[in-house]
Chains A and B, each alone.
Chain A
Amino acid sequence: MDAMAAIRVTFFQECQEQLAALEADLLALNEGSTDSETVNSVFRAVHSIKGGAGAFKLESLVKFAHKFETALDHVRGGKLAPSPDVMKVLLRSADVLADLVELSRDGNAIDDDCWLPTGEELSALSVAIDAPEDDEEFGSIDFQPALIDIGGNDVFPAPNPANDAVFLIEFSADAELYDRANETLLIFRELQRLGNVAVACDTTRLPLLDALDPQAGYLTWNLQLTTAEPRQSVDDVFEFVNGDCHLLIKTEAPATPTEDAYDIAALLRSVQDNNDEAAALPFSGPLQVATDAVPLSTSIGLARADNPVTAPTTDDAANGTSRAKASANQAPATIRVEFDRVDRLINLVGELVINQAMLSQRVLEADFEGSSAVLLGLEELEQLTREIQESVMAIRAQPVKPLFQRMSRIVREIADVTQKDVKLKTEGDATEVDKTVVERLADPLTHMIRNAVDHGLESPAVRLAAGKPAEGVVKLSAAHRSGRIVIEVSDDGAGINRPKVRAAAIRKGLIPADAILSDNEIDNLLFLPGFSTADTVSNISGRGVGMDVVKRSIQALGGRISISSRPGYGSTFSMSLPLTLAVLDGMVVSVGGETIVVPLTAIVETLRPKSSELHGLGVDGRVIAIRNTFIPLIDVGCELGISDRPIAPETGVTILVEAEGGARSALVVDAIQDQRQVVIKSLEENYGGVSGIAAATILGDGRVALILDVDAVVRRTRGDLTMYAMEKVAALGSA
């Protein structure tokens, strides 16, 4: 069923939100929050997941959520104190719940072993406070559309005297029955659905008018129901009013209705007929009970009964507007939009930006002398275009909070394995960044968090010996800084062991034994491919992924990563990332008559070297000496096949870039034109992949400019250089 499939999608989306909220609230509780709303919110999250899971017959999920919910209910009720041990179980349960949701969403078979142990722990929490767990089983639901005519009397079943049982029902309503908006008339109607009903009204308890309490119930009805339905069906009719009435149900052999009983079907039909005339008393016509107080009793006894009839009928003309108003009240003021649509919009806005730039240039070229109105209009257009672009980019922006929350689970898992006490602190969760960036940050961030706990923090014993608290702190923070997002992972561990790092680098032949390196350069050795300082490769960090991969992923996002460390006080890994991948800050340069864009993130500095700083190396290799380091020169024109002859570095401009692995190279170009934000256009989609070129963009004058793939160009030229030069280059950190 399509509608059900759509709701299923909604359910799992909602689960993600609930799980995120659950995690945040549990962490707050773990921090010692005593806010009752936090506990309530935790409970609601699990409760909602269970409720939805029940609708989709996700049995394991329902069972586990139920155990979880039971334990939380005890916490909520103050029966179970959220001690550290209890919180541990609850946090682990949140992880298991997340796993179960994921497995259920992907339609994977769920092995009970993945949740039963934690489920047992939860049950143990509940058992400990001597509250037998209510192990309710959930029936499955089949969403067969139930088309039932609610108003019609004509669907009442015809009695079949052969198999029918007769129920004698004595019923009188208490005032509470009416206070809860139940209706005797509706109860009779429901009974009528079950079979044939005869009714007699006893009005003897009815007081005189001056003693009459209009809120009280004085009438007793004696009903005789002839039906093929079981007793349960009769009980069900009275389910909601049981306790608010006097009710006696007896079974009897089939018999004909008593003389003073009346056909209730006829009565109900008259109610239906009178529906439009709200003031009409439905029973006053046909009901002719032979007592002294007939007219009075019927009108009073049914004073409540006819109220629902007087309820405002829907005015069809007003229907549309009131419905629109009601829907405006459906609180979450969000719409869900397919990602593709946003991408298309972003692309179009990109085109608009280009088009606007082209128009501006044309207008300037056409030289509208004295036509300031045109120029003014153009300026406004530019302003508006920029605002549109920013607004559209903001659509894709997402807070880093969910990403950060995922990390708290990673910390818990590693802390468990490494037997370390770790607390994760997060800052700036609300910082927003492009969805694509958020998604692609998950892996590098996971790795860095693992490293921080596994390698950064000391064991509790070592920490205590060093005069630190046994519990280590890993801090994860995000902030906007000059148009970029800066994410930092820091720990209060021992800091980078520089002698050890240096020794390892020498042992692995990454640096010569006599290399003189600054502290910062040593720290940056961690980013070299194949570098690992762990004495034993643990099963946590040692997954064949080094910090070099982390650095490469960050660079692939147009970001940079750096380390700072203080022995005894800990380390900080700092990543600076662009807010979006759709635009790029680039330096526009000329190379052999072509215009090339060099991503600003790769650029360290630009310079005009003196001829004394240039040296030949090998057959046609050249290096430039910058601050006592030799850096290979790369002629971009020759490398890309744009020009035949290399530019003399003395006449052109040299751009010092840093590629993956921290390798620095000097790119030689003709001239720098400009520095600006460009809209990235995929070359693969529009043309085909070209080695050395990352993408393309369209400039203000309509020309296509290529965006240089700095990593690829540097990698290509690497082989031409001696090992030592490369190693020395690689060892250089981003100072």
Chain B
Amino acid sequence: MTKTILTIDDSRTMRDVLRMALIDAGFDVMQAVDGVNGLEVLAERRPDVVITDINMPKMDGFGFIEAVRRDEQYKNLPILVLTTESDDAKKARARDAGATGWIVKPFDPAKLVAAIKRVAA
């Protein structure tokens, strides 16, 4: 069964890079441009995994994750944060918000896929 990944990033470049890497790896891809848009897309169709950027306008990655986790139906939705910040404070904040895991940019497609597999059933 093809897995669907929702990517949320305000950078068109990163959305394109992610889409290419994910499609090459055999995933279906949905996209959103910020946290608010991410919630809208999520309401349309449930993905298997969400990959979200942290720094975004309107609603950042932390806000998005917190909003998703507040909703009972998404308690088990795996969310990976995409970050260039490898510092632990950012990761810790993402974890506190309820992130399942993280991917450090710039990412190797193989690592991206490995991270998804670690959280996707």
Contacts and interface: CB of A to CB of B under 8 A. Distances in A.
A78 to B, nearest CB: 15
Given A179-B75, A239-B101, A323 B30 contact: yes
B110 A148 contact: yes
Interface string A100-114: 000000000000000
Interface string B8-29: 0011111011001100111010
Interface-centre pick from A13, A181, A275, A332 (highest chain B CB count, 10 A): A181
Contacts of A332: 12, 33
A14 B106 contact: no
A330 B20 contact: no
Given A237-B118, A240-B101, A10 B44 contact: no
Nearest to A324: B44
Nearest to A7: B16
A141 interface: yes
B32 A330 contact: yes
Contact of A10 (B3, B12, B87): B12
Contacts, number: 187
A48 B110 CA distance: 22
B51 interface: no
Contact of B24 (A134, A147, A239, A307): A147
A139 interface: yes
Interface string A1-28: 0011011001101100000000000000
B67 interface: no
A329 B37 contact: yes
A404 B48 CA distance: 45
A237 B119 CA distance: 10
A483 interface: no
A11 B110 CA distance: 22
B14 A52 contact: yes
A41 B56 CA distance: 8
Contacts of B102: 240
Given A148-B25, A186-B119, A243-B95, A51 B13 contact: yes
A14 B121 contact: no
Given A55-B106, A331-B33, A311 B48 contact: yes
A183 B26 CA distance: 22
A351 to B, nearest CB: 35
B75 to A, nearest CB: 7
Interface in A137-182: 138-151, 178-182
Contacts of B13: 7, 10-11, 14, 48, 51-52, 55
Interface in B93-121: 95, 98-102, 105-110, 112-121
A330 B18 CA distance: 15
Contacts of B106: 51, 54-55, 138-141
Contact of B44 (A145, A240, A326): A326
A326 B10 contact: no
B31 interface: yes
Interface string B49-87: 000000111000000000001000001111100001011
A313 interface: yes
Contacts of B45: 322-323, 325-326
Contacts of A314: 1-2, 4, 28
A145 B21 CA distance: 7
Contact of B109 (A37, A145, A239, A325): A145
Contacts of B78: 181-182, 308
A178 B119 CA distance: 11
Interface string A74-91: 000000000000000000
B107 A311 contact: no
B25 A331 contact: no
A150 B77 CA distance: 17
Contact of B98 (A179, A243, A308): A179
Contacts of B119: 181-183, 186, 240
Nearest to B37: A331
B80 to A, nearest CB: 8
Contacts of A7: 13, 16-17, 20
A50 interface: yes
Interface string A318-339: 0000110111011110000000
B16 to A, nearest CB: 4
Contacts of B3: 150
Residue of B4, B40, B56, B121 ringed by the most chain A CB atoms within 10 A: B121
B30 A50 contact: no
A350 to B, nearest CB: 33
A375 to B, nearest CB: 50
A292 B115 CA distance: 37
Contact of B118 (A179, A186, A275): A186
Contacts of B24: 143, 145-147
A190 B120 CA distance: 11
A134 B98 contact: no
A147 B25 contact: yes
A583 B118 CA distance: 61
Given A143-B21, A145-B24, A147-B25, A54 B84 contact: yes
A644 interface: no
A723 interface: no
Contacts of A401: none
Contacts of A11: 12-13, 16
A327 B25 CA distance: 20
| Chain A CB within 10 A, most for which of B28, B78, B98 | B78
A150 B16 contact: no
B105 A51 contact: yes
Interface string A661-688: 0000000000000000000000000000
Contacts of B37: 329-331
B110 to A, nearest CB: 5
Nearest to A330: B31
Contacts of A236: 114
Given A144-B109, A309-B121, 6 more contacts: A44-B57, A243-B95, A275-B1, A312-B46, A330-B32, A331-B32
24 contacts: A7-B16, A51-B13, A52-B11, A55-B17, A138-B106, A141-B106, A141-B108, A141-B109, A145-B24, A146-B113, A148-B114, A148-B117, A150-B117, A179-B98, A181-B98, A182-B101, A183-B119, A186-B117, A239-B101, A240-B100, A240-B118, A325-B44, A329-B40, A329-B44
A-B interface, 3 closest residue pairs, ranked by CB to CB distance from nearest: A308-B121, A54-B106, A240-B101
Interface of B: 1-4, 10-14, 16-17, 20-21, 24-26, 28, 30-34, 37, 40-41, 44-46, 48, 55-57, 69, 75-79, 84, 86-87, 95, 98-102, 105-110, 112-121
